[in-house]
Amino acid sequence: MPGRETIKDKKPRKVLLATRNKGKVREIRKLLKGLGVRIQSLHDLPEAPEVVEDGSSFGENALKKARFYAALSRMLTISDDSGVEVEALKGQPGVYSARYAGEGSSDRENNQKLLKEMEGIPSPRRGAWFRCTIAIVSPEGKEVVAERFV
C-alpha cells in the first residue's frame, strides 16, 4: 500500500543487550533473527562500566542495569538477572547465585557450596527452581519487566 511502512522498509533498530556474555548474545541474536533489530552488546561499548548488582531481587538488578545502559547508550536496552532458588534454603542462593561461594567464584565452587549446605536435607525437601527476570528499558524511560520460573 503506498505510503505505508513495513518493518522491512525500516532500517534495523539497534537494541543493546546489557551483557558481555558471548553465549547469551548468540542466543538472543538467534531468537530475534528476522525481527528487524540489530543486537549490540557491551562488547560494542568497551568503555561502559560494570553496574553493581546490589538489589535485593532479580527484578531490581535487571532494571538497574537496563536503566543505566539505556541512559548511557540511548538505545532500547535488554538486561537480565537470574539464579537458582532452593526451597529448603528459604530461596537461597537467589540473587547471590553467581557469587554464592564468594566474589569471583566459579559455577563449580558455587554448586559445591550449595550441595554442602544441603547435606542432611532429605530429597523430598530439596526442591529448587531457576528464576530469570528480564527488563527492557527505552531511552525515553519506558519499562517492561518479565519473570519466569523453571
Which residues have CB under 8 Å from 56's CB, separation 6+? Answer: 95
**Which tens digit of pLDDT belongs to each residue from 35-88?**
999 999 999 999 999 999 999 999 999 999 999 999 999 999 999 999 999 999
Cα–Cα distance between 33 and 16 in angstroms, integer? 15
pLDDT band, residue 8 (cuts 50/70/90): low
pLDDT at residue 10, as a whole number:
66
Assigned domain for 48 exists: yes
**Which tens digit of pLDDT belongs to each residue from 93-146?**
999 999 999 999 999 999 999 999 999 999 999 999 999 999 999 999 999 999
Where in the sequence is the domain holding 14, given as residue range(s)? 10-149
Assigned domain for 2 exists: no
Assigned domain for 20 exists: yes
Cα–Cα distance between 60 and 82 in angstroms, integer? 11
Assigned domain for 33 exists: yes
pLDDT band, residue 12 (cuts 50/70/90): confident
Cell of 108: 563449580
pLDDT band, residue 3 (cuts 50/70/90): low
Cα–Cα distance between 146 and 99 in angstroms, integer? 23
pLDDT at residue 11, as a whole number:
73
Phi, psi (deg, nearest 5) at residue 90: 55, 40
Distances 91 to 14, 57, 109 between C-alpha atoms, Å: 36, 11, 19
Q: Which residues are catalytic?
A: 81
Cell of 114: 550449595
Assigned domain for 17 exists: yes
Task: Identify the CATH number of the domain in which residue 67 sits.
Answer: 3.90.950.10
Query: Which has the higher per-residue pLDDT, 3 or 112?
Result: 112
Residue 25 scores a pLDDT above 60: yes
The bridge status of strand 37-41 relative to strand 13-17 is parallel
Cell of 42: 557491551
Please spell the DSSP secondary structure of 45-56, one letter per residue. -TTPPPPP---S
Cell of 105: 567464584
Question: How many domains is the chain partitioned into structurally?
Answer: 1
Assigned domain for 5 exists: no
Assigned domain for 132 exists: yes
Query: Which has the higher per-residue pLDDT, 8 or 75?
Result: 75
pLDDT at residue 93, as a whole number:
97
Residue with cell 536496552: 77
pLDDT band, residue 9 (cuts 50/70/90): low
Assigned domain for 100 exists: yes
